[in-house]
Amino acid sequence: MSSKGGSPISRRAWLGATTGAVAAGLIKTQADAFKLDAQEVQVAADPTKVPGRLVSELGQRAPREQPRRLARRPGLSSSSGTPLQDLCGTITPSDLHFERHHAGIPTIDSDEHELLVHGMVDRPTVFRMADLKRYPEASRIHFVECSGNGGGAYNPERMRTEMSPQSLDGLLSNSEWTGVMLSTILQEVGVQPGASWVLAEGRDAAMLSRSIPLAKAMDDAMLAYGQNGEAIRPEQGYPLRLALPGWEGNAQVKWLRRLEVSDRPTMTREETSKYTDPLEGGTARQFSFVMDAKSIITFPSYPYVLPEQGWWEIKGLAWTGRGKITSVEVSTDGGRNWTEAELQPPILSKATVRFRHLWNWDGNETIILSRAIDETGYVQPTVQQLWEARGQRTRYHMNNQRAWKIAADGSVTFGLGELI
Amino acid sequence: MRQALALLSAVLIVGCGAPEVDRAPGPSDDGSAVLASFPSNAPDHFGFGSDASAARVAMWDIDVKPDGEGLPPGSGTVAQGQRVFLTHCVACHGATGTEGPNDRLVGTAAWEQWPNGQTVGNYWPYATTLYDYIRRAMPQLTPGILTSNETYAVVGYILNMNGLVPADAVMDAATLPAVEMPARDRFVLDDREGGPEVR
């Protein structure tokens, strides 16, 4: 990774790892820099001649597989990205789920954590975690994406060639969430006529709060306490978070402690000063919750190097907050021609889907792109289309197409600048 | 906007008939095999959890709405607010609320005049949001340290630096919601709705 990406790895170490990898005919990513530690691991010359180690209470990754989150800024960073280019499939390992918080990660004891539900309800109620876990449970696979994800592909002053999927779009993760549907709890407390909004508030030092339309709360919103088979990680809201499938991450309030049913929004700082979209013409778009369709090629991408021409499989992720992805198209000639990629089932609503496209690279410099199409007929737009619709001042919902430039020497860099 | 917000709710509620609850655990749009069905033998009311008394609710119900609902008793002046600001806010927002390193608070020029960008004066649509936010989240390293009077005062000072209230203003539960914010009518509801049109 470049030093601009905030990586703790020295460029020298990184180059060393890369050079060795290319010489060996392999392809390498940022995670490889951490694999230098593997040299110090005792490796049997012939594992078939030495008994292996015994069982353990807690498993760990192979020394050579050490993906890491990447902090956005060195030091006091409030966000870190998932290493999209190092992962396969669609589920994000929980310890690599992206982080974004506004006042640090609180330490909370689930045994004493309480959720207060009040306002326009018949029975204002305090729920402890044990209470919530007695209700009928549901599990669902959904992506979470920060609506501020991907500014490097939208705002010209933030665009760089040395951006990886992680440093560009790492504030995207996909997990199986388990909990109680919010509709179950709202039924339990009795929502009164005339109610139309629910204020959700966290127990962090920002007491982060967002107003959620009651319709969403009644639809597919969940009070989640599980993530990929275990309790939600502290970074993702332990012991309880609001899960709003398909909506921007900020609204999916973590460390949830209060829900107030109301007939109007509170107009919190996070839904007025932030997470709104100033448009051309002097207006600003508010309550822009839904994440529109988006895709990104995660291989080949920066900082991979293709060691030779020939058959390579282009791989990536696509997702939409409006339901299911219906197709993903890939271009290997800078956007002139597009071919439908293969989608890996199951294709779930409001979840990431893996796409693949087998490509015979002729060794010439080119630019590859992807565009996602969802079930509403929405086609992931070009950056020019988004600029035309919104101007360049918005800082959220930057879901335009991403591009990678493959140089003749096989090196890959972020290539959208070449198309502007 | 009030009308529009009601409309937003109505639009989103299509097929839901709120506040009646469809007991299905997932939305109809999914149709996915990953969804379990809600138990058909579930009672209308489980009765888990404990009743929240009015006092219990009052202890946590800290949000302030644009009409002033939720504002506590107390008051503060612009002059008092300057002292609060210089004690608790300057390190992150600068002596005049413009220097950073964190959010720029002061600026009356239209937000289009980048890079001055969005400030309380040119972008925040409701003055009550200042009270709500400062009470819940500021100062960043010692949230909750300010009294109600100090919070009213520093809100008044920030509004005064933006030219929105006079130097002799007194902020309280009656005067704060009445402050007219320049950007109040510039906010529009999200008009993206999927489909082929890019918005």
- What pLDDT shows up at residue B196? 97
A64-85: pLDDT as tens digits: 899 999 998 776 789 999 999 9
Angle at A176 between CA A229 and CA B14, to 5 degrees: 140
A173-203: pLDDT as tens digits: 999 999 999 999 999 999 999 999 999 999 9
Contact criterion met (CB below 8 Å) for A235 and A78: no
- What pLDDT shows up at residue A72? 86
| Beta-sheet pairing, A256-262 with A114-119 | parallel
**pLDDT for A89 beyond 80:** yes
Name all domains of chain A by residue range, CATH numbers in brackets. Answer: 114-285 (3.90.420.10), 294-419 (2.60.40.650)
How many other CB atoms are there within 10 angstroms of residue A379's CB atom? 18
CA distance B184 to chain A (A): 10
A46 burial class (0-12, 13-18, 19+ CB within 10 angstroms)? Answer: exposed
- What pLDDT shows up at residue A33? 52
- Least confident range of A295-299, A325-329, B108-112: B108-112
**A402 φ, ψ (degrees, to nearest 5):** -105, 150
- What pLDDT shows up at residue B59? 96
Q: What tokens appear for B155 in the block?
A: 């809100």
For tokens 């819940």, the residue is B136
CA distance A140 to chain B (A): 7
Grouping H, G, I as helix, E, B as strand and the rest as coil, residue A258 is strand
The residue among B20, B30, B145 with the most chain A CBs within 10 A of its CB, best to mutate, is B30
In terms of DSSP H, where are the helices of A82-171?
A: 129-132, 165-169
Rg of chain B's alpha carbons, rounded to an integer? Answer: 22
- DSSP letter at A76 equals S
- DSSP letter at B176 equals G
Q: Does A78 touch chain B (CB under 8 A)?
A: no
Closest-CA residue in chain A for B58? A118
Confidence at A12, pLDDT banded by 50, 70, 90? very low
The dotted CATH code for B73-186 is 1.10.760.10
Q: What tokens appear for A284 in the block?
A: 């600003």
CA distance A271 to chain B (A): 10
Cα-Cα-Cα-Cα torsion A87, A92, A95, A100, nearest 10 degrees, comes to 110
DSSP annotation string for A349-410 = TTS-EEEEEEEEE-SS-EEEEEEEEETT--BPPPHHHHHHHH-S---S------EEEEPTTS
Q: Which of A268, A276, A385 sits opposite B133 (nearest CB)?
A: A268
Contact residues, chain B, for A348 at CB < 8 Å? 32, 34
Compute the distance between CA of residue A267 and CA of residue A141 in angstroms, rounded to an integer. Answer: 30
A400-416: pLDDT as tens digits: 999 999 999 999 999 99
- What pLDDT shows up at residue A43? 79
Least Cα distance to A321 among A359, A372, A370, A371 occurs for A372
**B181 φ, ψ (degrees, to nearest 5):** -95, 130
How remote is the C-alpha of B4 from its chain's centroid?
A: 18
Sheet holding A114-119, edge to edge: A209-213, A197-202, A256-262, A114-119, A125-128, B50-51
Contact criterion met (CB below 8 Å) for B131 and B151: yes
- What pLDDT shows up at residue A26? 45
- Number of residues assigned to chain A: 420
Which of residues 210 through 239 in chain A touch B, CB cutoff 8 A?
213-216, 218-220
pLDDT (tens place) for every residue of chain B, 199 residues total: 545 555 454 444 333 333 444 454 444 444 444 456 789 999 999 999 999 999 999 999 999 999 999 999 999 999 999 999 999 999 999 999 999 899 999 998 888 776 668 999 999 999 999 999 999 999 999 999 999 999 999 999 999 999 999 999 999 999 999 999 999 999 999 999 999 999 9
Compute the distance between CA of residue A177 and CA of residue A179 in angstroms, rounded to an integer. Answer: 7
- What pLDDT shows up at residue A322? 98
Compute the distance between CA of residue A165 and CA of residue A368 in angstroms, rounded to an integer. Answer: 14
Contact B64 A266 (CB under 8 A): yes
Least Cα distance to B59 among A257, A190, A191 occurs for A257
Q: What tokens appear for A155 in the block?
A: 């705002």
Compute the distance between CA of residue A266 and CA of residue A276 in angstroms, rounded to an integer. Answer: 15
- What pLDDT shows up at residue A42? 67
Which of residues 109 through 168 in chain A touch B, CB cutoff 8 A?
116-118, 123-128, 131-132, 134-141
Angle at A224 between CA A218 and CA A227, to 5 degrees: 140
Write down the domain spans for chain B: 73-186
Q: What tokens appear for A318 in the block?
A: 């696509």
Q: What are the distances in angstroms from CA A141 to CA A242, A377, B99? A: 14, 23, 44
A267-278: pLDDT as tens digits: 999 999 999 999
A160-181: pLDDT as tens digits: 999 999 999 999 999 999 999 9
Contact residues, chain A, for B12 at CB < 8 Å? 213, 215-216
Confidence at A35, pLDDT banded by 50, 70, 90? low
| Beta-sheet pairing, A403-406 with A412-414 | antiparallel
Contact residues, chain A, for B143 at CB < 8 Å? 103, 205-207
Residue B193 identity = E
- What pLDDT shows up at residue A21? 41
Element (H, E) at A188: helix A182-189
The residue among A273, A276, A324, A387 with the most chain B CBs within 10 A of its CB, best to mutate, is A273
The residue among B35, B128, B136 with the most chain A CBs within 10 A of its CB, best to mutate, is B136
HSE, CB side, 13 Å, CA atoms: give it for residue B146: 31
Beta bridge partner(s), residue A128 = A114
Residue A204 identity = D
Beta bridge partner(s), residue A328 = A372
Q: What tokens appear for A400 in the block?
A: 């335009």
Q: What tokens appear for A377 in the block?
A: 């007929």
Contact A206 B22 (CB under 8 A): no
Contact B19 A290 (CB under 8 A): no
- What pLDDT shows up at residue A281? 87
B32-88: pLDDT as tens digits: 444 567 899 999 999 999 999 999 999 999 999 999 999 999 999 999 999 999 999
How remote is the C-alpha of A15 from its chain's centroid?
A: 28
Confidence at A62, pLDDT banded by 50, 70, 90? very high
Angle at A153 between CA A148 and CA A156, to 5 degrees: 105
**pLDDT for A5 beyond 70:** no
**A179 φ, ψ (degrees, to nearest 5):** 180, -155
- DSSP letter at A411 equals B
